[in-house]
Structure 1
Amino acid sequence: MANTLAKTRKAIMRTFFLNSFNRDVVILIIISVAIGSLLAGIVAMAANSYFSETISTLVGEYGEFDLLINVREEMKEAGRTQIEKVIGQVFPGATLKEGPTLTGLTSFFVGLPAEYKTKQAYETMDSIFGSVPGRSGISIMTEPRITVRAVPEGARQLVIEQIMQIDGVLFAFRDGGSVTVIIKSLEQSSYVNAEIEKLFAQYHIIDIAFPVGSEPENAIRLGEQLADAVRAEKAAGYAESVSVDSKNNEMVYLTSTMIELKRFLTAFITKAALTPAAGVRVTAGDVIVFQGTAANAPSPGTAPEPDNVLVQVTAVKDDGSADGMVIQGNPMEMSNTQGYAVINNAIGELVGTASFHNPRAALGNALHETAGVVEQIPGIAQDAQNMTSIANKTLDNYGTSLTAIEQTLASLGNAGTTIEAATSGLANLNTGGIQSQVTNSSRAIGSVLNTLQVARLLNADVASSINELTVTQQNLANLQAGLSALENVSATARQAQSAIDGIVTNGNNTVTSLRSFDVSGTRQTLNDINGRLAQLQAFDTPLVAAQLQYLGAAVPNLKDEEISQSIKLLDQFIAGQVIPSQRLQLLTKSSITPDFVAPVIYNVVGHSNLSLYTSALGVIEPDPRAEVMMILSQVKAILAGMISLIAVILFLALDHTAIMSVIRRQRTVGKTLKTKGWRRLAQSIQNTFTAPECLYGMGIGALLLTAMFVLSGGGIPYLPWVGVPFLGAALGWLIANNAEKISPLATDEVIAGEALGLSFDEVMREIVIPNSRPGLLQTLNRRKMKFR
């Protein structure tokens, strides 16, 4: 330990206090760093000053101008005159400077007085300078400012209101498709920028992307419905449709009307239901031709005729059938329903058949039929009133009728009692026994009659007895018939009594039910109906019928090709506006994820054939002037770094290669590499990286480059500061391995000097340095040379 400390103290004494070559190396390093840093700093500063001055010349000093107005070069004089006139009337005291002309446009810079730097003035700059002839655009240059881009149209007002509440913001306004924030002072720029970032962190945009063919018919209304549905979720709380500014943009209202008009026209264009032929498949957008009113059927290879009917496929179903709309001709007058494909305006193969439906004709017929029904309303109302009158009269007789029914039922009950009394006597009479006795008596009389007939032959006086017996027998027969009738009457009376009893019982139940009927309530209902019918009769049905007939006649008498062309024009107009059709945007809190709102969105849209992803509410774009200055500072650092690199390479090559050659000679004197085998290769590799001259080169290179970078402010893109020493070491290592090639050592002279007893310092100063490459070390060494 003591030995090491002694060596260290000796090295320090030799390096800094004794007049040794080590001190010469330290002085060389110090002077090299000073010269290299000064040179790099001067070059970088000169370049930065030049570019900064150039920018100031072009666009003025920082904060000097507020507006940049571009005017076409051929009209710059008239443009300048008008700009002067405008600022004299609207912004008295404003300054105007003509800038350079680039790509056919001349720039005019306008500086506004502080009292005119207001939100209202900046939002109306386009209209204020709208009369400038040849104007090609106007840009805001007021500094300091922050520009926020990529803010959805519908969210810009919210962003402006939130930013205006930040301390240090003078005002914020719409600047084309961006939001520009004017800051009170440059010192507050960082704070305002941080607060805007915090604001944006609270929200994010949920983008809903629809694939081609699944776009909503009215994206504006669907966006509002989605926002309402998401907002209804308790966990969401906040959601707004921000695809467009539906509250402030008048063009949105017009475009929404256009969307609805397109939907109306699409609903009333003639529809075609296509049934493809076997093996044929159609796709959306295909055009199919039909004969129409042409004299001949479509012929493959020819172009469609004006009288042909053309159908464009709009949707294809799973079973291969398709729907289409007529874009030319009148299909309702044709009989041939076979269609052929149209490819490059040439008729192709048979596609299939089609049936057609004209909603316009159906609507007209329905309106005419409805008008006819309306004309019948007065008669229907009068008939209904007559029926209510009859019903009221029926209700008036309702109570009397029930009383009569009750009396009838009572009479039937009495009749039943009488019949019961009569039949009860008949029930006690044995008509069967009497009939049997009468039958026996009649037979006995018959036998007597037979006997008397024989006796009459003997005695004629018996004839009178025979006649009397005959009469008696006849009376017995009549009595028997009466008894049979009496028995039938008894049975019939019993049936009648049973029927009367059933009628009375059911009648009493019916009367009970009828007594429970609300006659007064029914009468009130009939009166109400009668009043409504009176109002209906007072209704001006002829006028309504006339209006319906007018509407039927006013159904758009448009041809299908006119409707299809109108739809195409509407599509072109709608597509030219800031109205999304394939993407909707919802503004929500940053805690709401697409997975959370996905079920709600799928439910409102009606399908899940869409994509959900999130994006930031906006992107903060720093001040362009500050960005340019930052770029210039980066250029300055790069120039300083490149000059430092060149200086290190030159100093290493011109000054230190001689030293490294000497170190290499001292390392190799009396030593030889292994003659063969892997040890020779390993030793060569080891010497390449760990040889003393290499370590010296890497140390000096790292020290020189790091010191120059620090003092000159150098920098290299994508190279962190920790990498600078390693880069310097790499340069030193590369030069150390080529030191003898760059600065060969005069070995014979060195050996001769050593033989004469010269010390190491004297050998370096008198032999090695004078014979090395001319450089800073050689210049510093001249004052110490003894042999010149």
Structure 2
Amino acid sequence: MSTIWHTPFRKDFLILLIISILLASAFSSGLAWIADRYFGQAINGLMGDYGQYDLFMQVRSETLSESRAELDRLISDYLPGTTVKIGPSLVGKTAIFLSLPDELRRRDIFEGLDAILARVPGWSGLSLLIEPRLTISAVHGGAQEMLLGRMADWEEVRFAFRRGGNIEVVLQNPTAQKAVSERAQQVIKEYRLVELRYPTGYTLEDALESGNALTTALQEQAGSGLVRDVTLAGGGDDYQQLMSTLIEMKRFLGYYAAEVTIELTGDQEVRRGAQLALQGTGRPLITGEVPSEGDIIVQINSADSRQAQGIIIRGDSRDVARSESYLLNGDGKIQRFAGMAQVRSRRDELMHMLDESEQLLTQLNQISPEAASLASNALEQVLGYSRLIAKARQSQEEMEAVRAALGADNPMQGSARLDAAVRKIDSASAEMARLGSDIERLRTSVEGLGEVAAQLNGFNNRLSSVAQFLSLGDGIESLLSATRTLGALSEGIAAQKQAVASFAEQMREPLAAVEYWREKVLRFQSEVTDYNQLLALGGAGRERLDDLIMVTDRTVALVAEADPTGISSTLEGLAGNGEGKVNLPGLSAQIGDIRASLPNLRDEEIGRSVAVIEQYVGDQAYAGEKVQLLTDQTLTVSAIKNTIRRESEDQVDVVVLPIGAIQPNLRGEVFRVLGEVRTTIAALSVFVLGILAFLLDHALILSVLKRQARQRVMRGSKWQRMTTRLAGSPYSFGGSIGLIWFVLAFLASGADIPVVGVWGAAGLGLLTGCFFTAMCEKFSPVNEDEIVAGEALGQPFETIMREIVIPAGRPGLMQWLNRRRLVMK
């Protein structure tokens, strides 16, 4: 190595090193730039330019035509002004890009997109492309509305909306991405999700009950701080939502199930889960035999030494003939007398009470003006619709008469006939189209009636909860007192709701046909301005006329199918009785609805349903039941754990989780990957060029250095010889040059190796240099005799390299640079 650095040849070597690094860096960076441009344009071709599209939808390729037609209809109805671009098809799915107009870029639209676009045939999913956007993922349902409320007031935020378990934040401009991300991260850190995980053996009912007690204790300790139970908020956990629904269903059915109480006799114990038989419509019960089909089977839910309670799992309480109960053995046979049974069906009691109430209320002859007004309004809509059908049919006949008279009338008569027909069909289609606004009002009424229905449901629940305490004597008066507070909930409103819903559903398809018909009428008016345009057979005017008549025929037939007669009679009956200030007939009908809404099930069906639910909720033990609490930083984690440990008898694990995490969007991830691809391509190119540089140029120099190392005579002590040998080792030179070459080329070209970075480049260069040092004499051998001859003639090292070694080596950059130094050409 000292031979090179202490001779003029060092300049040649440094020039070679610098130029090879520069050329390799330039070539590698250029290649990476070309690849980056290519992939970037490909991605833009697939996803559009930044901010060009808002939505990316996929449909099955085989249904593309139907999907496009339905998509156009949905856009016309719900997303007017939206532009559509059909993208490429891959693996049987076609991409569709949507760009919404600026006025539709708001929260309510984006939160309802899935419900709207899922109607497209072949729909395979929807993704967001709207930019600039920030995504907060894995946000618990109980924290979503809180985060949305806080971020909606930020100046940098255009709007934010929920999408599944994520919150999407659309920004005013891309430059606010970092600031909003940092600010959102601070908000996320202000809250946390505390999970209370219960041990094996807890049912969901147990966990929720214990969780409520722990939540109350934590709220008292937190004071004004936030402690909120969000276990079932926002559908955060589908399993627990199902369990909660089953629990409520069990309570509901359990209330209406017939209760059987048995006064036990004898010393033998009756356990929970045992079954008893009661005499029903079958033959008398006989010890040792199986009860007949008409007998009643009761399953015990709880029991002590004196009394047992159960529910009927076969038969009905109305069929109980005798009160003696008999215990069944494991084979289902009658074993012994158990005791006297008392059967109470609160469902029958409540139905009887409702029947009495309905009979009193139906004696009155008044109905609320509000119900009558709603019924009259709906009736007016129906009658107007009938007249429009007749008018549409008249316009249909007029247009057919125009076509039939083509060629028979003179131009003046034909023109007059055409003008009259066009005026009629224009008037009919316009009035029919205006009916759409009336339908929208009816739909608004349906929404209001839906709220009334919800109130009615709450009324039923309250009635059910208090009816068990009512006797048949004063129960009716108490029931009437409760129902009078809800006078607006009348049978007229219920009937009005049903009529509006039915009418709106019937009008959906006809109105779509009318809208298309109206477009055809307007197009005909704009394109056919002269009667003579209709005379040319096969001409554009004749085609427009035939098309309009065909659409008119189809539309008239379709609207005629929506027969409003049934709706009319219902509304006429309601409107005719619309007198009086108090809607007592409607209230009577409401009581009838309440009675009809009671479970129309036999006791055995109710009992079996309760037993099935108990198998999964009441009796089944689950591992890992949990209660989730949303808290702020008022309470420390240690304080929460101490409170739970103090209030809970069982071991409850406390797990603290963030309420969400900020994640980059799809386009950012794609371009991040493309950036890694670009640097990796540059790294591969640098590696290949480095191998070529060592193979064509540096291997020859290393061969000469290895020859000199073998001839070098070492003097001095052992440590001095070792130091000299190490310093002059060709491996040290080759490894150092490889390290320098690769590191500088990597830095200059922007190359990078994922994970290891520049340290990987240094290690790769070191290994490459050592490898070529070891194999240099095989890759680039030198002519020993010529070198010895040059040394014998007294030629210096640089002359031997320039005139003997390099010209005889492989053609490379070093040989090309050496031409200016070569004397003996």
Structure 2 matches for 1:273-288, cutoff 5 A?
none
Q: Structure 1's 714 and 90: CA in aligned 2 closer, same or farther, altered over 3 A? A: same
Deviates more, 1:207-216 or 1:636-645: 207-216
Q: Which residue of 2 is the match for residue 665 of structure 1?
A: 707
Whole-angstrom CA distance in 2 between matches of 1:171 and 1:364? 53
- Aligned-pair distance for 1:169? 1.1
Of 241, 252, 257, the residue aligned with 2:229 is: 241
Would the aligned equivalents of 1:272 and 1:354 in 2 still touch at CA under 8 Å?
Answer: no
Would the aligned equivalents of 1:70 and 1:105 in 2 still touch at CA under 8 Å?
Answer: yes
- Aligned-pair distance for 1:266? 6.0
Whole-angstrom CA distance in 2 between matches of 1:362 and 1:561? 16
Q: Which residue of 1 is the match for residue 57 of structure 2?
A: 69
Structure 2 matches for 1:751-762, cutoff 5 A?
751-762=788-799
- Aligned-pair distance for 1:34? 1.6
Q: Which residue of 1 is the match for residue 632 of structure 2?
A: 589
Q: Structure 1's 718 and 741: CA in aligned 2 closer, same or farther, altered over 3 A? A: same
Would the aligned equivalents of 1:205 and 1:586 in 2 still touch at CA under 8 Å?
Answer: yes
Q: Which residue of 2 is the match for residue 563 of structure 1?
A: 607
- Aligned-pair distance for 1:731? 2.3
Whole-angstrom CA distance in 2 between matches of 1:255 and 1:23? 82
Q: Which residue of 1 is the match for residue 176 of structure 2?
A: 188
1:634 aligns with 2:676: yes
1:610 aligns with 2:592: no
Of 754, 778, 785, the residue aligned with 1:741 is: 778
- Aligned-pair distance for 1:179? 0.8
- Aligned-pair distance for 1:92? 4.4
Of 201, 204, 212, the residue aligned with 2:189 is: 201
Q: Which residue of 2 is the match for residue 750 of structure 1?
A: 787
Would the aligned equivalents of 1:206 and 1:585 in 2 still touch at CA under 8 Å?
Answer: yes
Query: Secondary structure at 2:195's aligned position in 1?
Result: strand
1:700 aligns with 2:737: yes
Of 158, 165, 178, the residue aligned with 2:166 is: 178
Whole-angstrom CA distance in 2 between matches of 1:89 and 1:715? 52
Would the aligned equivalents of 1:144 and 1:623 in 2 still touch at CA under 8 Å?
Answer: no
- Aligned-pair distance for 1:787? 3.2
- Aligned-pair distance for 1:644? 1.1
Query: Secondary structure at 2:683's aligned position in 1?
Result: helix
- Aligned-pair distance for 1:63? 0.8
Q: Which residue of 2 is the match for residue 32 of structure 1?
A: 20
Whole-angstrom CA distance in 1 between matches of 2:289 and 2:60? 56
Whole-angstrom CA distance in 2 between matches of 1:685 and 1:560? 99
Q: Which residue of 2 is the match for residue 729 of structure 1?
A: 766
The alignment's TM-score, normalised by the length of structure 2, stands at 0.57
- Aligned-pair distance for 1:54? 1.4
- Aligned-pair distance for 1:206? 0.4
| CA deviation profile, 1:681-725 (whole Å, cap 9, x unmatched) | x99998997553122212211221112111211111111334533
Whole-angstrom CA distance in 2 between matches of 1:52 and 1:717? 20
Q: Which residue of 1 is the match for residue 661 of structure 2?
A: 619
| CA deviation profile, 1:144-184 (whole Å, cap 9, x unmatched) | 10111111111100011122233411111111221100011
1:542 aligns with 2:584: no
Q: Structure 1's 67 and 787: CA in aligned 2 closer, same or farther, altered over 3 A? A: same
Q: Which residue of 2 is the match for residue 715 of structure 1?
A: 752
- Aligned-pair distance for 1:626? 0.7
Q: Structure 1's 704 and 594: CA in aligned 2 closer, same or farther, altered over 3 A? A: same
Q: Which residue of 2 is the match for residue 527 of structure 1?
A: none
Whole-angstrom CA distance in 2 between matches of 1:288 and 1:106? 61
Query: Secondary structure at 2:330's aligned position in 1?
Result: strand
Q: Which residue of 2 is the match for residue 656 of structure 1?
A: 698
Letter in 1 for 2:110: Y
- Aligned-pair distance for 1:31? 1.6
Q: Which residue of 2 is the match for residue 775 of structure 1?
A: 812
Of 338, 343, 365, the residue aligned with 1:361 is: 343
- Aligned-pair distance for 1:186? 0.9
Whole-angstrom CA distance in 2 between matches of 1:698 and 1:217? 71
Q: Structure 1's 364 and 91: CA in aligned 2 closer, same or farther, altered over 3 A? A: closer
Letter in 2 for 1:621: Q
Whole-angstrom CA distance in 1 between matches of 2:259 and 2:196? 33
Q: Structure 1's 122 and 634: CA in aligned 2 closer, same or farther, altered over 3 A? A: same
Would the aligned equivalents of 1:329 and 1:560 in 2 still touch at CA under 8 Å?
Answer: yes
Q: Which residue of 1 is the match for residue 502 of structure 2?
A: none
Of 339, 348, 359, the residue aligned with 2:330 is: 339
State the Cα RMSD in Å: 5.4
Q: Structure 1's 671 and 138: CA in aligned 2 closer, same or farther, altered over 3 A? A: same
Whole-angstrom CA distance in 2 between matches of 1:354 and 1:214? 36
- Aligned-pair distance for 1:265? 4.4
Q: What 5-or-longer segments of structure 2 have no aligned partner?
A: 263-270, 303-308, 354-469, 480-597
| CA deviation profile, 1:725-761 (whole Å, cap 9, x unmatched) | 3432232223223322332232222111111222211
Would the aligned equivalents of 2:82 and 2:98 in 1 still touch at CA under 8 Å?
Answer: yes
| CA deviation profile, 1:450-493 (whole Å, cap 9, x unmatched) | xxxxxxxxxxxxxxxxxxxxxxxxxxxxxxxxxxxxxxxxxxxx
Q: Structure 1's 354 and 174: CA in aligned 2 closer, same or farther, altered over 3 A? A: farther
Deviates more, 1:560-569 or 1:60-69: 560-569
- Aligned-pair distance for 1:547? 11
Of 647, 669, 689, the residue aligned with 2:689 is: 647
- Aligned-pair distance for 1:53? 1.4
Letter in 2 for 1:706: V
Q: Which residue of 1 is the match for residue 102 of structure 2?
A: 114
Letter in 2 for 1:181: V
- Aligned-pair distance for 1:61? 0.9
Q: Structure 1's 706 and 251: CA in aligned 2 closer, same or farther, altered over 3 A? A: closer
- Aligned-pair distance for 1:584? 2.1
| CA deviation profile, 1:481-519 (whole Å, cap 9, x unmatched) | xxxxxxxxxxxxxxxxxxxxxxxxxxxxxxxxxxxxxxx
- For this pair of structures, how many residues does the alignment match? 561
Whole-angstrom CA distance in 1 between matches of 2:602 and 2:724? 95
1:215 aligns with 2:203: yes
Of 87, 100, 120, the residue aligned with 2:88 is: 100
- Aligned-pair distance for 1:137? 2.9
Would the aligned equivalents of 2:327 and 2:337 in 1 still touch at CA under 8 Å?
Answer: no
Q: Structure 1's 64 and 258: CA in aligned 2 closer, same or farther, altered over 3 A? A: same
Q: Structure 1's 622 and 562: CA in aligned 2 closer, same or farther, altered over 3 A? A: same
1:231 aligns with 2:219: yes
Would the aligned equivalents of 1:236 and 1:592 in 2 still touch at CA under 8 Å?
Answer: no
The alignment's TM-score, normalised by the length of structure 1, stands at 0.60
Query: Secondary structure at 1:62's aligned position in 2?
Result: coil
Whole-angstrom CA distance in 1 between matches of 2:310 and 2:795? 107
Whole-angstrom CA distance in 1 between matches of 2:471 and 2:297? 45
Whole-angstrom CA distance in 2 between matches of 1:45 and 1:166? 39
Would the aligned equivalents of 2:135 and 2:665 in 1 still touch at CA under 8 Å?
Answer: yes
Whole-angstrom CA distance in 1 between matches of 2:743 and 2:634? 47
| CA deviation profile, 1:259-288 (whole Å, cap 9, x unmatched) | 223145468699999xxxxxxxx9x9xx99
Q: Which residue of 2 is the match for residue 479 of structure 1?
A: none
Q: Which residue of 2 is the match for residue 82 of structure 1?
A: 70
Deviates more, 1:237-246 or 1:660-669: 237-246
Whole-angstrom CA distance in 2 between matches of 1:556 and 1:358? 28
Query: Secondary structure at 1:339's aligned position in 2?
Result: coil
Q: Which has the larger radius of gyration?
A: 1
Q: Which residue of 2 is the match for residue 463 of structure 1?
A: none
Q: Which residue of 2 is the match for residue 512 of structure 1?
A: none
| CA deviation profile, 1:418-466 (whole Å, cap 9, x unmatched) | xxxxxxxxxxxxxxxxxxxxxxxxxxxxxxxxxxxxxxxxxxxxxxxxx
Of 123, 129, 137, the residue aligned with 1:135 is: 123
Deviates more, 1:151-160 or 1:238-247: 238-247
Deviates more, 1:762-771 or 1:182-191: 762-771
Would the aligned equivalents of 1:223 and 1:243 in 2 still touch at CA under 8 Å?
Answer: no
Whole-angstrom CA distance in 1 between matches of 2:739 and 2:820? 28
Whole-angstrom CA distance in 2 between matches of 1:573 and 1:116? 45
Q: Which residue of 2 is the match for residue 785 of structure 1?
A: 822
